[in-house]
Amino acid sequence: MASQMSEKEILSEENLKLSKALRDLSDIEGKLEKIDDQVNQYRISITAPVFEERYNVISNIPNFWKTVLETHSEFSDFIPVSDFKYLELIKNIKVNTISNSDFSITFEFDQLQKANFPKQKITKIFKLSKDINDLKYTSKLTDEQLMDMQEFGFLTSEPVDIVWPSDYDSINPKKISSKTDPNFKQNYRAGMKTFFSWLNWTGLKHGKEFPNGDGLANLFMEDIYPHCLKHYIESKRDFEDEVGGSESEIDEDEEELEGFHVDVISKEEESEEPLKKKMKL
Amino acid sequence: MASQMSEKEILSEENLKLSKALRDLSDIEGKLEKIDDQVNQYRISITAPVFEERYNVISNIPNFWKTVLETHSEFSDFIPVSDFKYLELIKNIKVNTISNSDFSITFEFDQLQKANFPKQKITKIFKLSKDINDLKYTSKLTDEQLMDMQEFGFLTSEPVDIVWPSDYDSINPKKISSKTDPNFKQNYRAGMKTFFSWLNWTGLKHGKEFPNGDGLANLFMEDIYPHCLKHYIESKRDFEDEVGGSESEIDEDEEELEGFHVDVISKEEESEEPLKKKMKL
């Protein structure tokens, strides 16, 4: 039959075949995306009980999150150096998946009396929105960015009530006023960049709130939280390398656990700043 | 009871609690690693039938793999520029998972008469080994690298029989000899770097065979193969941008498929070098 077709007919036939193939590819891409979601759901369901167990264990390890956060290669890009002294107040963290796109992060803070910082537990919820009409300031966004936000969505969040440490009174946006503070603008901006401001981040005020707040939320969601043990172990290894490892203080006979050494842990570990103290040895 | 304990006893009690917590963390890390494997198995099982479907569709799309490979940002780091003209010979690719660490890659090559290159289908199997005694040359490896290879394993593979294109006769290790070729060393090295040499890569002769052969195997396994549709679509988008998108040749009314446009595909697509041809428009 093909031999009776003209060259033109054959070409058009081949074109149709190609079009069909490309349409099929598109269907397959859709199926693979659904599979990604399905695999993700599966991962969440079997990981949840282990994360719950991990949460309970971590609450018995002083400075666990401080250690993870202060040695994380990217976390420090998001917050000012002045925040680092408050990392030890983060006693525990929990991430909950709400849907494929939405999640919440819960922080449990210890009190710090000298900074009038009370024990606090706050939960910040992050939701994907595609409604760019909700945006309050768009002047910092290009048309292309806005189109991408409309197509792929963008993270948003409600501000969360948190008492700031009193050392931050001079930059705390709730405590400063343009009427009384001659450096209001500068201080307001400094305050805007702290971790505490991130807890008030909305995702709707580009250029007027904590910068790259969605980036920090995603960093917790995709890396810091699921891989916190790896980061913790790494920081212990780095530390071992720095103090000279087994030569200085490690008992060779001590038990080596699957995956990492516990032998670097000694009494100093319980003090507030074990890493710094030990580094002086 | 705690009030009756001395400070020393309390400290030692806390130390025990901490040691226990760290041991628990290590157990949890083990559990999370097992979950990773489990999720991976699940992904493979539900992806396999869709990949099979994709394989069949791709065989109807001329130059699919050529398009994916020549626009992939990392692939070109692995092979010499002279290999690029042979990419169009790759008609289809299949990756099979053998176990959590082992896999095979099958390449189906079209014939190229002018280079005496026959139609060939070859399967290269990659296996993880931890036995560094199998290594034939270790002079290029540091002690640390060897220890890591022993602990975490390294990819190995059997050489695969493949007929090289005759244009490569002067660098084909099977066709040149130090006795007859005054530039033997230079030509041998040039041949060692081609894609065809990668098919002979063993993972046991560091510095004496295709360089970073495990890197290329992993690139196929982890990125090129699972995400080939995304790369294909991206290359079409890049191309669209380059030729000026809808202004030049796209019919606005044409169907826009979920995820990507099919409208850039036209008759030129069927020719051997659609991208280059179109770029001249």
Cβ of B34 under 8 Å from any chain A Cβ?
A: no
Count, residues in chain B: 281
3-state SS, residue B88: helix
* Number of other residues whose CB lies within 10 A of the CB of residue A271: 12
Hey, how many other C-beta atoms are within 10 angstroms of the C-beta on B122? 14
Closest residue, chain A, to B256 (C-alpha)? A23
Q: Is the pLDDT of residue B30 over 90?
A: yes
- Please state the length of chain A: 281
The size of the A-B interface in CB pairs under 8 A is 131
Contact in structure between B201 and B220 (CB atoms under 8 Å): no
Instruction: Note whether A48 contacts B: Cβ–Cβ < 8 A.
Output: no
Percent of chain B with pLDDT over 70: 83
Residues 150-189 on B with a CB inside 8 Å of A are: none
Closest residue in A to B27 (Cα–Cα): A258
pLDDT at A18: 86
The answer to whether residue A54 neighbours chain B at the CB level (below 8 Å) is yes
Alpha helices in A153-202 (DSSP H): 184-192, 195-198
Please report the DSSP string for B151-194 in residue order. Answer: HH-EEEE-----PPPGGGTTT-TTT--TTT-TTHHHHHHHHHTS
Is this complex scored with an ipTM above 0.85?
no
Whether chain B has a CB inside 8 Å of the CB on A19: the answer is yes
Q: Burial level of A149, CB count in 10 A (0-12/13-18/19+)?
A: buried
Indicate yes or no: CB of A262 within 8 angstroms of CB of B54.
Answer: no
Between A104 and B264, name the one with better pLDDT: A104
Contact A107, A87 (CB under 8 A): no
In this complex, is the C-beta atom of B260 within 8 Å of any C-beta atom belonging to chain A?
yes
Choose from A9, A26, A36, A152 for mutation: most chain B CBs within 10 A: A26
B50 close contact with A: CB closer than 8 A: yes
Q: Give yes or no for B44 touching A (CB within 8 A).
A: no
In this predicted structure, what is the pLDDT of residue A140?
A: 86
Closest residue on chain A to B262 (Cα): A22
Judged by DSSP in three states, B81 sits in helix
Question: What residue type is assigned to position A47 of the chain?
Answer: T
Closest CA to B162 of B86, B273, B259, B50: B86
**pLDDT for B151-160, tens place per residue?**
999 999 999 9
Q: Is residue B268 predicted with pLDDT exceeding 90?
A: no
Residue A181: exposure state from Cβ atoms within 10 A (0-12, 13-18, ≥19): middle
Tell me the helices (H) and strands (E) count for chain A, helix number first.
9, 6
CA distance B126 to B137: 19
Taking Cα atoms as reference points, which of B75, B115, B55 lies closest to residue B195? B75
Nearest CA-CA partner of B88 in B33, B171, B165: B165
In angstroms, what separates the C-alpha of B148 from chain A's closest C-alpha? 13
Residue A127 one-letter amino acid: K
pLDDT of residue B243: 61
Is the minimum CB–CB distance between A41 and chain B shorter than 8 Å? no
In the block, residue with structure tokens 């405590």: A175
The sign one gets for the Cα dihedral A86, A88, A91, A93 is positive
Is A74 in the B-facing interface, judged by CB distances under 8 Å?
no
| pLDDT tens series, chain A, 281 aa | 445 677 787 778 888 888 899 899 999 999 999 999 999 999 999 999 999 999 999 999 999 999 999 999 999 999 999 999 999 999 999 999 998 889 999 999 999 999 999 999 999 999 999 999 999 988 889 999 999 999 999 999 999 999 999 999 999 999 999 888 899 999 999 999 999 999 999 999 998 999 999 999 999 999 999 999 999 988 877 666 666 544 433 333 333 443 444 433 333 333 333 333 333 32
Interface mutation target, options A29, A91, A231, chain B, most CBs of B under 10 Å: A29
B20-24, Cβ contacts within 8 angstroms, sequence gap of 24 or more: B20/A60, B21/A57, B21/A58, B21/A60, B21/A61, B22/A61, B22/A257, B22/A262, B22/A265, B23/A257, B23/A262, B24/A53, B24/A57
| Pairwise CA distance, residues B29 & B188, whole Å | 47
Is A42 at the interface with chain B, CB within 8 A?
A: yes
Q: Do B23 and A257 touch (CB under 8 A)?
A: yes
pLDDT in tens, B164-217: 999 999 999 999 998 888 999 999 999 999 999 999 999 999 989 999 999 999
Total Cβ atoms within 10 A of residue A3 = 5
Residues A193, A199, A203, A208: what is their CA dihedral angle, to the nearest 10 degrees? -30
Give how far B43 is from chain A: nearest CA, Å: 6
Among candidates B17, B29, B46 on the partner chain, residue whose Cβ is nearest the Cβ of A259: B29
Helix, coil or strand: residue B63? coil
Residues 134-153 of B with CB under 8 A from A: none
Residue B261 confidence class, pLDDT cut points 50, 70, 90: very low
Do B52 and B38 meet the contact criterion of CB atoms below 8 Å apart?
Answer: no
The fold adopted by the segment(s) B62-226 is Arylsulfatase, C-terminal domain (3.30.1120)
Compute the distance between CA of residue A221 and CA of residue A214 in angstroms, rounded to an integer.
10
Which residues does B137 contact at the CB level (< 8 Å), separation at least 6?
Answer: B204, B205, B206, B207, B208
Residue-level pLDDT at A244 = 53
Residues 218-247 of A with CB under 8 A from B: 229-230, 232-233
Asked if A250 contacts A91 with a C-beta cutoff of 8 angstroms, the reply is no
Q: Is the pLDDT of residue B279 over 70?
A: no
Is the predicted pLDDT of residue B272 greater than 50, yes or no? no
* pLDDT attached to residue B239: 64
- Chain B contact set for A18 (CB, 8 A): 60-62, 265, 269-270
Token pair in block for residue A115: 């900074």
CB of A46 within 8 A of CB of B34?
A: no
| pLDDT on residue B15 | 84
Residues of B in contact with A229 (CB under 8 A): 25, 28-29, 32
- Averaged confidence pLDDT in chain B: 84
In whole angstroms, give the CA distance from residue A74 to residue A82. 16
pTM above the 0.90 mark?
no
Contact list in A for residue B63 (CB cut-off 8 A) is: none
In the predicted model, what is the mean pLDDT of residues B53-78?
Answer: 94
